[in-house]
């Protein structure tokens, strides 16, 4: 039995019972956060255990809002936490890690959210699920829907990278490329779900997405011997990953499983920085007393990191709260730095990341330069998506190979640096 005991609005703190069937707060339109009976969860943990197992993230069932009975067709979560010793040492950091989310079924961390949302759709007896997405959430939902035999409808901006589009189409989703940006796709998806009765997975609207992403924190906690790191650096676009990561640690504390919590670092492109700008303003002005009065900064996003290019972050307030309440930090970096980081990370760690995931490492460099992290701090970068999702950006960063004639003299000249 799930131990959900209701919903609480991120903005006005208004509550709804566990039976509530809507997506947003009926009082103010704010996003909802799922509440648990933590004493009940602890009792379930004692009975069933709590940790990654053959079911991946569903090994954390006692703190998930869906029934996890029966196996799931794809393995989501249970991803590796790799020490990045050489890369860390290049900045004088002794304990840098990458949480490699690229090994999830559709090669991004969004699979955690899709898995929980689609289990929810099955509980609701819904056969069509829909989402708006900059690409990864859509290919993830399409992937999970294919595994479960559900019908997927996705709304993406017309300029979504080709690899993500190809993934979607191969998974059999009905793909609608909307002339406009992510925000236009989001609004159309909302309208379509109301009109046709589809279940809306869209991030920052559906409260179950955060609940999937939080399992990433549970795994980090488990991998670090049931302790928190000092910092978790989160590539941030719509804010749902940052708020999900923070939710995981709040759960662990409420269940008495950890006492010290990490600082959440919101890592953004300076060309898509609504959450960072708002977080800094809230900290400086002390607005955090009343979250319902906090207004997100307005930006016109345009970054090479397409997965985190967002004008209006749909889970923005919850992400700002994650930064502020965790005594975290907000870091913005340039697109040029993001592109350079792709081969830099790959050559030092063996991880091939898409631009949005590479943002985390660039943010770490800024933190070290600004002396905001210590040499012995444990720092986790979330490697949120695979480099194979955006080959043109990787090519821009890595350049072209040497082309030689098929003879040894030509090879010798090439190796000597002469063509």
- Applying CB under 5 A, the residues found at the interface with Zn ion are 9, 11-12, 14, 25, 27-28, 30
Element (H, E) at 388: none
| 31 versus 217: smaller Cβ distance to Zn ion | 31
For residues 65 and 116, the answer to whether their CB atoms sit within 8 Å is yes
Q: 199: which strand partners?
A: 129
Question: Which residues make Cβ contacts (< 8 Å) with residue 32, sequence separation at least 6?
Answer: 7, 8, 9, 10, 16, 20, 23, 24, 25, 207
| 25 versus 87: smaller Cβ distance to Zn ion | 25
| 25 versus 107: smaller Cβ distance to Zn ion | 25
The C-alpha atoms of residue 34 and residue 10 are separated, in whole angstroms, by 10
Shortest distance (Å) from residue 131 CB to Zn ion: 23
The C-alpha atoms of residue 187 and residue 203 are separated, in whole angstroms, by 12
| 292 versus 372: smaller Cβ distance to Zn ion | 292
Shortest distance (Å) from residue 273 CB to Zn ion: 25
Shortest distance (Å) from residue 308 CB to Zn ion: 26
| 11 versus 339: smaller Cβ distance to Zn ion | 11
Shortest distance (Å) from residue 31 CB to Zn ion: 9
Q: How far is CA 63 from CA 2, 38, 213, 226, in A?
A: 8, 8, 12, 16
Q: How far is CA 177 from CA 180, 264, 389, in A?
A: 9, 33, 17
Residue 404: DSSP 8-state: -
174-178 and 151-157 strand pairing: parallel
For residues 102 and 108, the answer to whether their CB atoms sit within 8 Å is yes
Nearest to 21 by CA among 149, 121, 151, 129: 121
| 7 versus 218: smaller Cβ distance to Zn ion | 7
Shortest distance (Å) from residue 37 CB to Zn ion: 22
For residues 413 and 358, the answer to whether their CB atoms sit within 8 Å is no
Shortest distance (Å) from residue 297 CB to Zn ion: 20
| 6 versus 374: smaller Cβ distance to Zn ion | 6
Shortest distance (Å) from residue 12 CB to Zn ion: 3
Tokens of 219: 């795994």
| 22 versus 172: smaller Cβ distance to Zn ion | 22
Shortest distance (Å) from residue 26 CB to Zn ion: 8
Sign of the Cα torsion 133, 134, 140, 142 reads positive
């Amino acid at each position: 039995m799930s131990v959900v005991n209701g919903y609480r609005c991120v903005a006005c703190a208004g509550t709804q019972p566990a039976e509530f069937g809507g997506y947003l707060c009926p009082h103010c339109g704010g996003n909802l956060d799922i509440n648990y009976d933590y004493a009940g969860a602890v009792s379930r943990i004692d009975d069933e255990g709590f940790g990654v197992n053959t079911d991946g993230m569903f090994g954390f069932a006692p703190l998930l809002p869906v029934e996890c009975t029966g196996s799931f067709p794809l393995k989501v979560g249970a991803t590796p936490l790799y020490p990045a010793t050489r890369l860390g040492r290049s900045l004088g950091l002794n304990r840098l890690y990458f949480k490699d989310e690229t090994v999830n079924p559709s090669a991004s961390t969004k699979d955690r959210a899709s898995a929980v949302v689609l289990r929810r759709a099955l509980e609701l007896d819904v056969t069509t699920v829909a989402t708006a997405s900059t690409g990864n959430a859509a290919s993830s939902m399409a992937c999970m829907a294919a595994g479960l035999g559900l019908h997927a409808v996705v709304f993406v901006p017309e300029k979504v990278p080709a690899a993500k589009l190809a993934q979607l189409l191969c998974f059999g989703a009905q793909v609608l490329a909307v002339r406009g940006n992510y925000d236009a796709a989001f609004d159309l998806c909302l309208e379509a779900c109301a009109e046709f009765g589809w279940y809306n997975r869209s991030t920052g609207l559906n409260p179950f997405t955060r609940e999937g992403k939080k399992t990433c924190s549970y795994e980090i906690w488990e991998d670090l011997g049931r302790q928190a790191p000092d910092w978790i650096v989160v590539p941030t676009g719509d804010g749902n990953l940052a708020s999900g990561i923070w939710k995981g640690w709040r759960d662990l504390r409420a269940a008495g499983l950890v006492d010290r919590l990490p600082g959440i670092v919101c890592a953004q492109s300076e060309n898509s920085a609504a959450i960072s700008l708002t977080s800094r303003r809230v900290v400086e002005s002390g607005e955090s007393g009343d979250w319902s009065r906090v207004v997100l900064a307005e930006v016109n996003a345009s970054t090479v990191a397409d997965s985190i290019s967002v004008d209006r972050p749909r889970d923005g307030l919850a992400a700002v709260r994650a930064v502020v309440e965790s005594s975290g930090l907000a870091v913005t970096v340039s697109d040029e730095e993001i592109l350079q980081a792709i081969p830099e990370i790959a050559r030092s760690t063996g991880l091939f990341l898409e631009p949005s995931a590479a943002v985390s490492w660039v943010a770490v460099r800024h933190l070290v330069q600004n002396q905001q992290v210590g040499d012995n701090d444990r720092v986790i970068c979330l490697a949120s998506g695979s480099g194979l999702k955006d080959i043109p950006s990787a090519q821009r960063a890595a350049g072209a190979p040497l082309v030689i004639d098929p003879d040894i003299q030509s090879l010798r000249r090439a190796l000597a640096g002469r063509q």
